[in-house]
Structure 1
Amino acid sequence: MKKEIAFVSDGSVTTPIGFLAAGVHCGIKANGKKDLALIYSERPCIAAGTFTTNKMKAAPVIVTQENLRPAQASIKAIVANSGIANSCTGKQGIMDARETCDLVAKALNILPEQVVVASTGRIGIRLPMDKIAQGITEAAKKLSSAGGIDAAHAIMTTDTFPKYGAVKFKLNQTTIHIGGIAKGAGMIAPKMATMLCFVTTDADITKTCLKKALSNAVEVTFNSITVDGDTSTNDMVVLLANGAAKNERINNVSSDSYRLFEEALTMLLRHFAQAIARDGEGSTKFIEITVKGAVTEQEAKAIGLTVANSNLVKCSLFGGDPNIGRIAAAIGRAPARLSAEKVSVWINDTCVMRDGTIIEFDRERLRSQLKSSPNVFIQIDLALGKASWTVWTCDLTYDYVRLNAEYEI
C-alpha cells in the first residue's frame, strides 16, 4: 500500500481541506520570534490525543484532556504558545489555560470546550495573559490556508528548524490528506506521547478508528525516539478529523481503508519522529537502532531504547569511536530475554560482534565512517525469535551540555 501514499510538497497542518492556521509573535520570546500558533477548522472535528505519562502534568495538558474527554467532544481550534510551559503553576496555571480557551472561543465565535490548548518552554512561570490575548486576536485575523509553516515556527523552542509535513492517498476515487506540525529537540523520551504534535485530516472517520490509528502510529514512531531520556510535563499529540474530503466513512478497523489511513498516518508521524531525533539538542549524528531476533516486539523495543539512552554509547558515537563494549553492556542490562552467546551486532555495514564475541574488523575504516557521516545505523540480532523494533536517537555532545547549562528561550 505504501506506493499509494505520497508526501505533499511543502505540506503542513493546513494541507487537509478546511483547516487554517497562523503563527505570530505575541511577546513571550524576547528575541522577537513567533511564539503563538493558532489552528482552526471550518468544520467541527472529532479528535484523538495521547499525552505525557509524567505525573507532573502541565496545566494545558489537564485542560485539553478535559475538553477531549466527552464522547461527543467537538473540536474546532488548537492554540499553542512557546517560551513558557505553564507547568508547575498551580491552580492559577489551570485558570490561565482555561482563559486561553475562552479567548480563542471569543475570537473565533466557538465554544471554549472546542479548543485544544498547549504550551511549551520554561517550567514554573505564569503565562503573560495580556500578551496571550493580544496574540490570539492577531492570529485569528491572520488565519489562512498558507499559515501552517508560520504555525510550525511559532511552537519552536530549542528546535533548529520547523517541523511540518503532509501526506495524501486515495480511498476509491477520493483524495485524503493528513498534515501536521511538530516541535521537539530536548527532554525527549516519551512513554505515551511526545513533545508537541498537531495533526489534521479531512478524512471522514469514526472516533474509534481515529483513536486506534493514532495510538498505533504513536507507538512505533514518537514512542520509539529518545534524545536525553527525559519525559516532558507538556507532551501531547492531537489529531483532528473534519470529514471535509467526503469519502466513504472509515468505520471498521479491519477494513482496507482503515489500514491505509493508519499506514499514511504512521508514515507522517515517522517523518516527524525522525526529524526530532535529527534535531536533538547539540547533536551531530542521527542514530537508527534496529533490534531483530527478539522473543517479543516489546523486548526488542526495550533493548533498542536501552542502547539509545546510554550516555556512554552516545558519547562514543559523537567521538567517532566504535566502542562495541558499551553497546554490549547496554544490550545486557535491558529488561529483555537474551542469550549472550547468540548476540551479533553491526555498525553501518560492519559486523563488530558475532555470537556474543567482539570480532576483528577494520576499526580505522569504521572510525572514519563515524566521524564523517551524519547518520549511524546499528543492527542487533538476538537470534532468539522473530520480533523486531526500530528506535531513533542522536549523539550526546558538548553543545548539549552547554545548551542545557545556559537554557534560555
Structure 2
Amino acid sequence: MKRLEGGVTAPKGFMASGIRAGVKKEGRDVALVYSTREANVAATFTTNVVKAAPVVLSQETVGKRPVGRAVVINSGNANACTGDVGLRDAAQMRESVAVGLGIANRDVLVASTGVIGVPLPIETVCAGIRTACAELGETREAGTAAAEAIMTTDTYVKEMAVSVEIDGKTVTVGGMAKGSGMIHPNMATMLAVLTTDGSVDAATLQALLRETVADTYNMISVDGDTSTNDTVFMMANGLAGNDTVTGTHPDYGVFRDAVRYVCTFLAKRIVGDGEGASKLLEVQVSGAATSTDARVLAKSVINSNLVKTAFFGEDANWGRILAAMGYSGASFDAAGVSIAFESAAGRIDLMKAGEPERFDEDVASGILKEREIVIDIHLRDGDGRATAWGCDLSYDYVRINGDYRT
C-alpha cells in the first residue's frame, strides 16, 4: 500500500470543487465531487430517527439504484427539521447539479451539515452549485477545496488517499471527511465521501463499506450526540481497469485494507479535531468473549464523560474506566481485567488480573501529558478485540457549543 498526497481527486476520473456561496459567515461552503463516468455507489446513514432532508432523499436514491455520478454537499446549514420545504430544497440542490453537469437527477447524491432547524437559503446554495459545477477540477488542490467546503467547526481539513495493486493494475482509494462535535459511536455529525477508480461489484462495495464503517466511524466519540445528518458515500468508477472485485476476488483483502486504512485515518482525524479537545484517546480492548463484546466495551469507555474529563485533567483515574466497562452491557470477568496507559512518554500498568497496581503518580502524569494516549484493556474471556477512538472533554467544548448558532 502506498500513501498518496490528496483526497477524493487522487483516483482516476474524479473531479471536485469547493466554493464560497455565502451560507456560512466565512469560508467555502459548497462542495462537489464528480465522476467522469458512471460509478457504483454505496452509502451508510445516521441511526438517528430524526433524519435531515438530504439523508431522506439520498437514502431513497441509493436504495432504488446504487449507481451515480456526483455528490453535492453544503455546510453551514443542516437542512434538518425543516419539513416538506426542506425536502423540496434538497431535491432542488440535486436538480441544480444535474442541470449544471448534464446528468440525470438520479445520478446525484445530496448531503448537508450545519445548524439544525433553520430553512436552507436555497437560492444562495443553488447559485453556489452553479459556480461549483463550472469550477470542477481534477487537481489535488480541487480535492482539498472540496474538503474545506464541508467543514463547520472543524479546525483542519481531513483527506487521505492510498494506492494498491490489484490484477497488476494500480487502484487508488481517496477520501475526505468532516466532523468535530456531535460525534458519537454509530457515526456522528460527520460526513465522508470516498472515491476509487477500482472496479468493484455494487453489492460488494456496499457490504465492504458497512463493515468498514462499523470498525471506524462507528467507533469514534467526542461528546455522545448522534446527529441528524451523518452520511458516508463511496463511489467506484472502474477506470483503473482491474477485474471487478467481489468478495471472492483473490485481491479482495488488498482492496478492503486500502478502504479501511483511509477510513481509519479519517476517523482518527475527526476525533483528534474534537471541539476543544487536547487529547486523542485510543481504547484497545483484547481478550473479550466476542468481537461484539469488545466493541461494546470499547465504545462504553470512549463515550464516558467521566473518562473524558479525567484525561483532560491528566488524572490516572482508572476506576472510571472499569465502571464504564461494568455498565456497558457486555459480559466479562472483572477478576480478569488488566488496564494500562501508554503514550510517547512510556507505559504504566494500573490494574492486573483484577488487582490494582501500585504506580507512581508522577510517571502517570507524564504519560497523560502527551497528546496521544492509548488505553490498553486486556480481558481473559476469549479472543474478541476492538479499537475505539475519542478525545477528552474540555472547558472549550462548552464554550464552542454554547455559542454555536451565534
Q: Is it true that 1:45 corresponds to 2:39 in the alignment?
A: yes
Provide the C-alpha distance between the structure 2 equivalents of 1:362 and 1:122, rounded to a whole number of angstroms.
46
Give 3-state SS (helix, strand or coil) of 1:245's partner.
coil
Which letter does structure 2 place at the counterpart of 1:119? S
- TM-aligned CA distance change 1:322 to 1:193, over 3 Å: closer
Which letter does structure 2 place at the counterpart of 1:108? L
Give 3-state SS (helix, strand or coil) of 1:69's partner.
helix
Q: CA RMSD in A?
A: 1.2
Provide the C-alpha distance between the structure 2 equivalents of 1:316 and 1:88, rounded to a whole number of angstroms.
35
Identity of matched residues, %: 43
Alignment correspondent of 1:267: 261
Which letter does structure 1 place at the counterpart of 2:386? W
Q: Is it true that 1:229 corresponds to 2:224 in the alignment?
A: yes
Alignment correspondent of 2:79: 86
| Aligned partner of 1:213 among 187, 208, 211 | 208
1:194, distance to aligned residue in structure 2 (A): 6.4
Alignment correspondent of 1:151: 146
CA contact (8 A) 1:209 1:258 kept: no
Report runs of 4+ in structure 1 exceeding 4 Å deviation: none
Provide the C-alpha distance between the structure 2 equivalents of 1:208 and 1:320, rounded to a whole number of angstroms.
46
Give 3-state SS (helix, strand or coil) of 1:256's partner.
coil
Give 3-state SS (helix, strand or coil) of 1:170's partner.
strand
| Aligned partner of 2:310 among 312, 316, 336 | 316
1:110, distance to aligned residue in structure 2 (A): 0.6
Q: Is it true that 1:405 corresponds to 2:402 in the alignment?
A: yes
Q: Is it true that 1:187 corresponds to 2:169 in the alignment?
A: no
Alignment correspondent of 2:359: 361
The residue correspondences of 1:157-172 to structure 2 (distance < 5 A) are 157-172=152-167
CA contact (8 A) 2:188 2:226 kept: no
Which letter does structure 1 place at the counterpart of 2:115? R
Give 3-state SS (helix, strand or coil) of 2:173's partner.
strand
Give 3-state SS (helix, strand or coil) of 1:28's partner.
coil
Unaligned runs of 5+ in 2: none
CA contact (8 A) 2:337 2:379 kept: yes
| Aligned partner of 2:248 among 248, 254, 259 | 254
1:332, distance to aligned residue in structure 2 (A): 1.4
Alignment correspondent of 1:384: 381
1:363, distance to aligned residue in structure 2 (A): 1.3
Per-residue Cα deviation, 1:300-345 (whole angstroms, up to 9, x for no partner): 1111111111111111111111012111211211111112211111
Unaligned runs of 5+ in 1: none
Of 253-262 and 272-281, more deviation after overlay is shown by 253-262
TM-score, normalising length: structure 2:
0.96
Give 3-state SS (helix, strand or coil) of 1:62's partner.
helix
Alignment correspondent of 2:237: 242
1:192, distance to aligned residue in structure 2 (A): 5.8
Provide the C-alpha distance between the structure 1 equivalents of 2:56 and 2:273, rounded to a whole number of angstroms.
28
Alignment correspondent of 1:300: 294
Provide the C-alpha distance between the structure 2 equivalents of 1:269 and 1:406, rounded to a whole number of angstroms.
30
- TM-aligned CA distance change 1:228 to 1:193, over 3 Å: closer
Q: Is it true that 1:290 corresponds to 2:290 in the alignment?
A: no
Give 3-state SS (helix, strand or coil) of 2:198's partner.
coil
Q: Is it true that 1:77 corresponds to 2:70 in the alignment?
A: yes
TM-score, normalising length: structure 1:
0.96
Of 333-342 and 279-288, more deviation after overlay is shown by 333-342
Provide the C-alpha distance between the structure 1 equivalents of 2:199 and 2:375, rounded to a whole number of angstroms.
40
| Aligned partner of 1:123 among 116, 121, 129 | 116
Alignment correspondent of 2:94: 101
Per-residue Cα deviation, 1:148-187 (whole angstroms, up to 9, x for no partner): 0000000000101010111100113210011111000111
Per-residue Cα deviation, 1:112-134 (whole angstroms, up to 9, x for no partner): 11101000000001111111111
1:369, distance to aligned residue in structure 2 (A): 2.1
Q: Is it true that 1:7 corresponds to 2:8 in the alignment?
A: no
